[in-house]
Structure 1
């Protein structure tokens, strides 16, 4: 069955750099957005909370693929001065979409910190920024890590959609191969390699997430 490994795998991996670039840019955008939007949603200011909620629900409630099409085809029409490079447009859509989901991880972690922690910080005459920086976030980050780890893996898988906008990632390369190899056995072989490619890319993320969780939990009582 796997007779073409020396031909198929190198061809698929021609798109590896695109996949990694979209993931890294998308992850940077996603976690920046997650922290900003997540903290905004914990604000006591109704306007700030409302803006963040609108953003989160917009990107969680619409299709990632449609968002990609919007940034690539609709946005340049609405704003002719904005002409995003294809790779950045794809990564932006991925980052905003998964950032909206990850913002809920941030919000939940911040809100889970016991109110007594805030009250104690207030009694020490800490400002709101000092309470957030020195008391709440150090504890909340530890709670965010499992959700962030899962989000990173989901984000990696979401990068496979960029082939719909013409980016030659590994999914695009696999589909090109499929077009030139009509035999059923060849198609099974191609998508098996693609399947394991995403799994191998996800493995470092899984191990990194577990390592960070263990490191963050050192010295923390579970009782």
Structure 2
């Protein structure tokens, strides 16, 4: 059986995969900054809440998280569409790891610069947004790039809750044609191509961020 007739199905699956990945990265980035900043500047209560969030989502399997959100939450009256569930779980997972990236980058800002900000009567809010974050964001970018690619690879797990992503489509075609080698080779290339697109996007964003922070970095050096 000629499996190439099913190529449109693969492309549709790839589009679903990319959509879920980009949405998860966007939401996960917001969660990462929120909980990462709270870890550093949130005080005892909020810092503890942020710590619990990061440890739960970093310390448990994404596979189990996905099934828990999809099959367990409906038992208490909370249910979501499969795509929504996939995006939320991937975003929460990425946010947990991203929060640690943000926390680490903020913690690496020189103590002398923070003391200088206090000497200039900067508030904690002003110090965070005018001193700490402009420098920390530059340091975060390579790690966030790796996290984005990891999120793309982990997105294949959403096929387990019947989302017709690239992996689900490839498996369906393989079951029809029984041509494992060709189909999975093309699927492998599709994931690699999407990883390259993400990598290029992150590199461009990193250059923009570094260029935008060139003056502050020079002023602080």
Same fold (TM over 0.5): yes
Q: Which residue of 1 aligns with 2:49?
A: 51
Partner residue, 1:118: 114
Match of 1:24 in 2: 22
CA contact (8 A) 2:167 2:187 kept: yes
| 2:171 aligned residue | 175
Q: Quick check: 1:9–1:193 contact (8 Å CA) kept in 2?
A: no
1:130 aligns to what SS in structure 2?
Answer: helix
- C-alpha displacement of 1:154: 0.5
Deviations along 1:125-170, whole A, 9 cap, x unmatched? 1111011011110111100110111111111111111000000001
CA distance in 2, matches of 1:194, 1:53: 37
Root mean square deviation, CA, Å: 1.8
* Mapped pair 1:213 → 2:206: yes
Aligned partner of 2:191 among 198, 202, 208: 198
Match of 2:40, SS state, is coil
The CA deviation string for residues 38-96 of structure 1, in whole angstroms up to 9 with x for no partner, is 11111362222111111111111111111111111101112x1x221211111111010
Counterparts of 1:8-157 in structure 2 under 5 Å? 8-43=6-41, 45-78=43-76, 80=77, 82-157=78-153
Contact 2:174/2:183 (8 A) holds in 1 = yes
Instruction: Give the TM-score of the pair, scaled to structure 2.
Output: 0.91
Gaps of 5+ in 2: none
Distance in 2 separating the partners of 1:202 and 1:67? 24
